[in-house]
Amino acid sequence: MAECTEDAAYAAFTKIIKKIEHQAKLLRIWNLQGGVSAQTTAVEFEAGGHCKRAVVRQYGEANLRSNSHIARSEWKLLNLLHAAGIPVPKPYFADESANLLPAPYIVIEFIEGQTRTEPADVHPLVRKMGDVLAKIHSHKFSEHDLSFLPAQEHAAASLIAARPAKLDDSLSEGRIRDTLEQVWPPPQKNKSALLHGDFWPGNLLWKVDQIAAVIDWEDAGCGDPLSDFANARLEILMFFGIESMNEFTRHYRSLMASLEYTNLPYWDLIAALRPAGRMSGFGLDRETLLKFRERHKRFVNQALDRLNL
């Protein structure tokens, strides 16, 4: 992604906030931490005598390779989600012209909140994660055309097909791939639903003890809800431990009792395959990396045991 000079960036963000409110005056801009797929900038401006904030997300090359209109797609999706009462930032507009910034971008509401990866009381937190994930999966978007979103089954198939020359033995990559290559795709037993695509604690903003927003929807798609569910299970296990994963699992299943869970072990293995070859680059300290790998191994073994493998 090309870089803007400081003066050019200030001029560009001045024009951006004037698209939100014509009389807006830019006060400051600063980078937000946490995202790896997009460059995220907070902007603070004055309009109508009030101090306001917004977030500008510029998409990275990986996002643009998978969807050249990712800015427009996420803007459209956030509008649908916001109207449906899903806790997401309000979208303002998307721009794919490269006239102001060097990459396509979306401008969204700034949500006050924090991510929580070390809560004192984790069980209420994971139950609320289950609440919002079930709300996403159960909402009826049938009156809306979601064809602009990719099919999750295609993303999973591409992941399985991309067998590297060197497998990540630390994350059981060979065992996972050997299993999935024999059976993929399993017959889909659930109706396709809207999927977040990367539902984990780092993509949730909390205010006090409530979820203020589910963020980072650039990986959204349509497909079996078990895809999102499995990914959340693995992330909760790695961050919070087995009891928290089991609590999340019980709670989500109680809310989504109509789903067929026979294929969950396969989606667990898909979730477990995603970090293969990449975890060492996550910037984790040695102790956390070892803990995550051990918990990941337990997750894989559980899935294989349920498949009698």
**Domains detected in the chain:** 6-109 (3.30.200.20), 122-306 (3.90.1200.10)
Residue-by-residue pLDDT tens, the chain, 309 positions: 444 556 788 899 999 999 999 999 999 999 987 556 789 999 999 999 999 999 999 998 888 887 888 999 999 999 999 999 999 999 999 999 999 999 999 999 999 999 998 887 899 999 999 999 999 999 887 667 888 999 998 999 999 999 999 999 999 999 999 999 999 999 999 999 999 999 999 999 999 889 999 999 999 999 999 999 999 999 999 999 999 999 999 999 999 999 999 999 999 999 999 999 999 999 999 999 999 999 999 999 999 999 987
Q: Is the distance from CB of 74 to CB of 56 less than 8 angstroms?
A: no
* Biggest CA pair distance of the chain: 65
| Bridge partners of residue 193, in order along the sequence | 223
Our CA angle for 193, 274, 164, nearest 5°, is 130
Cα 30 to Cα 216: distance, rounded to the nearest angstrom: 18
Q: What is the full DSSP assignment across 77-125? A: HHHHHHHTT-S-PPEEEEE-S-SSSSS-EEEEEPPP-B--SS-SSHHHH
Q: What is the pLDDT of residue 143?
A: 66
Give me the amino acid identity at 271. A
Cα 114 to Cα 107: distance, rounded to the nearest angstrom: 19
Fill in the DSSP letter of residue 151.
B
* Residue 6: partners with Cβ closer than 8 Å, 6 or more residues away: none
Q: Which conformational region is residue 197 in: left (phi greater than 0), alpha (psi within -120 to 50 degrees), or beta?
A: left
Q: Is the distance from CB of 43 to CB of 53 less than 8 angstroms?
A: yes
Q: What is the pLDDT of residue 2?
A: 44
Fill in the DSSP letter of residue 279.
G
Q: Provide the 10 A C-beta neighbour count for residue 51.
A: 9
